[in-house]
Amino acid sequence: MKKLKLTTVILTVIILAIFLFVYKNRTINRELTNSKKVVSSVDKKVINKKGELNFSVLGDVHGDARKLKIAIDDLHDINDAADAMVFNGDNVDQGIKSQYYIMESTLNKKANVLPKIIIKNIGNHEYFDYARGRNNSENVEKLKNMYLDFAEEKSIYHDKWINGYHFISLGSEVGNTEKPGSAVNAFLSRNQLDWLQQKLSEKHEKGKPIFIFLHQHLNTSIAGWIGIEQRDELNEILSKYPEAILFTSHTHVLLSIDNVRSNGTFTTVHTGAVHYDILPEEDHKIKRLYNESQGLYVEVHGDKVLIKGRDFAKKSWIFSKEIDTSVK
């Protein structure tokens, strides 16, 4: 009788041990499965794979520190390990020291949540000083130098390689002079265009994306608005490179209206605007939307480039379009 009771106790202990072992392993496996989940680009993080590249593009900040902070925090929530952030011109509303100080101060305060690589391109407002009005040649040079100090660059046009991908920045070399159109349009010298051709051919690989940035636009939904004086020359150069993706800003048009467009052989992408956005209306009228704040988040997977429009005010996605540079 005693032996039977002992046997029953031993069997009960063994059964309990087996039950606890199975339960514990199921719990661990469930936790491991959840930890291996690949988070989509809409969630907080984007899982980087070898050879990938993730960056954002912000146009037309106009020195709006409040909205810039919101955009930076939102992009950090989307991906806290992004490779770069590109400021695509009109970073300031005027090319004066107080405005650059606001930008520099904001970026310094947010340094811990910013990507290590920051690219700062020139727009047309970097050539503005409302108190002075139109620029002479000496004014232009001073304004250029102020921008170059802020951007930590040696030239208005510059380039950088990031994770094996080429980032090429163009910029207007004259701004807000007596010359017609100079207050808003981009003027690209022959030297800059020749430099662009050289850079496009540098380490060129067929089908591999090349990212080009210029503040002013090649095309827009706002009828009749010309953005680049040398648009025909620029279009001819880029048309030789189907891998080229040109990011432009300047128009402030909502990303729900203008975003990704095939421009013959290459692609143009509108960045939206951080400071405020514009709704084009009939009869060449526009409506300024000061509650809006928009920009781009970009994921690169080899020859596939996923471009996503972001509404920073609402923390929501506006569009998502993939460009395949291998099939053009």
Residue ranges of domains in the chain? 1-35, 53-324
Beta bridge pairs of residue 159: 168
Is the sign of the CA dihedral 207, 211, 215, 220 positive or negative?
A: positive
**Confidence bin at 283 (pLDDT 50/70/90):** confident
**What pLDDT is recorded for position 275?**
98
Nearest to 91 by CA among 122, 66, 113: 122
**What pLDDT is recorded for position 37?**
25
Does CATH number 3.40.50.970 belong to domain 53-324? no
**What pLDDT is recorded for position 262?**
85
Look up the pTM and report it: 0.84
For strands 316-324 and 53-58, give the pairing: unpaired
Q: Is the pLDDT of residue 23 over 50?
A: no
- pLDDT for 161-196, tens place per residue? 999 999 999 999 999 999 988 899 999 999 999 999
Three-class SS state of 79 = coil
Q: Which residues of 15-53 are buried (b: 16+ CB within 10 A; e: fewer)?
A: eeeeeeeeeeeeeeeeeeeeeeeeeebeeeebeeeeeeb
Instruction: Find out whether 120 and 148 touch, Cβ atoms under 8 Å.
Output: no
**What pLDDT is recorded for position 80?**
95
- pLDDT for 101-113, tens place per residue? 999 999 999 999 9
For residues 161 and 167, what is the distance between their CA atoms, to the nearest angstrom?
A: 6
